Amino acid sequence: MKRRTLIAGIAALSAGAAAGAVGGGFAYAETPKAPALPRAVDHARVVPHVKGAPTLMPAYFPIPHLTKIPIPGGMIHGLPGEGNLIAFTVDDGVSSDVVGAYAEFARTTGMRITFFVTASYPAWRDHADALRPMVESGQIQLANHTWNHPDFTKISDGEIRSQLERCGDFIRTTFGVEAAPYFRPPYGNADARVLAAARAAGYPQAVHWYGSIGDSGPISDENMSMLIDRWVTAQRIVIGHANQPTILGHFDELVKTIRDRGLQPVTFDDVFLRP
């Protein structure tokens, strides 16, 4: 697992360097004149009212107001340009308890999260009512992580389309939102054929990551703390999983790390324009 993380990090590093070289002065500043620093920290801001929730919730994380840029397409590993953003992403949903805990974590903190939903897991139905107001407000984004998590490099183009469509249909029906154009291939595995097949199915934006908190399988508290400290930094896409209970003891640490480092949690819809 560590080796995979390292490899992903190296890949992201080179991808990030390339994006920086091409992108130059990045475009998501508040105005064209401002330098590319999308600071949006306003801790006095109150997160939007959600049905059934108190009007005043702890506004640990404000709503970012960024000038959005077009999706880059292909595979992204990090957020482009310089800034203080962090895209915290959570995959799968093997554990209904962990999905429920994430929903409560988001509701009470204002944490912005993109879930990559594997739609066949019951967790997403179990907690749809808790998640829906935050999905509607944009605090939580739902993206496509297939129906039942096959390795896309080992299935046909038609099966890739079917996997994405079935998950997309579930998200649309259950939450009233469109997952496209964002998907994450299971295991992060995608080659040029996979990306082309996904694009043809309406998903031109694959999302990889630049650091994992290590909970796709069992992990110790010590290792998770080490990974949070290592990877929760500016402009990263960080991956976690709603599979193992370990994260339940690390929500406060995650909040503290993000706040201490002056980071702004964002969804991909906060940063990018949909095509």
Residues that bind Zn ion (CB under 5 A): 91-92, 186
Query: Quick one: 109 or 146, whose CB is closer to Zn ion?
Result: 146
Query: Quick one: 184 or 236, whose CB is closer to Zn ion?
Result: 184
**Taking the complex as a whole, how short is the minimal distance between the CB of residue 94 and Zn ion, in angstroms?**
9
**Taking the complex as a whole, how short is the minimal distance between the CB of residue 134 and Zn ion, in angstroms?**
21
Total Cβ atoms within 10 A of residue 137: 14
Query: Quick one: 89 or 235, whose CB is closer to Zn ion?
Result: 89
Q: Nearest to Zn ion by Cβ — which residue?
A: 91
**Taking the complex as a whole, how short is the minimal distance between the CB of residue 17 and Zn ion, in angstroms?**
27
**Taking the complex as a whole, how short is the minimal distance between the CB of residue 184 and Zn ion, in angstroms?**
7
Query: Quick one: 168 or 186, whose CB is closer to Zn ion?
Result: 186
**Taking the complex as a whole, how short is the minimal distance between the CB of residue 243 and Zn ion, in angstroms?**
8
